[in-house]
Amino acid sequence: MAKFLLFVLVLAVIYLLVRASNRRGKPPPAAPTTEAMAQCAHCGVHFPLTESFSEAGRDYCCQDHRRLGAKP
C-alpha cells in the first residue's frame, strides 16, 4: 500500500512540474492588443490611430497622403 501511495505522489509531482513548465513557456496573458486602429483615407491601409495624420475628420497614414487627400 505504501508503494502505491508513493507512486501516486510521484505522479502528482510530475504533473505539477509539467504544469509549471507549461505555464512558464506561455507568453503572459496581459497586454491587451486592442489598440485603436485607423484607416488611411487615401490608400486604405490600417495603422494605429496614435500614428495617424488627421485632416478634416479623416485619418491618413503619412504626411504625403494627408497632402494628397482622400481618394474617392
CA proximity to 59, closest of 16, 43, 72: 43
Measure the CA–CA gap between 36 and 27, rounded to whole angstroms: 22
| CA–CA dist 60, 72 (Å, integer) | 14
Quick note: the x/- pattern for Zn ion over 21-50, rule CB under 5 A, is -------------------x-xx-------
Q: Which residue in the set 38, 52, 61, 66 belongs to the binding site for Zn ion (CB under 5 A)?
A: 61
Nearer to Zn ion, 38 or 65 (CB): 65
Interface residues toward Zn ion, by CB under 5 A: 40, 42-43, 61, 65
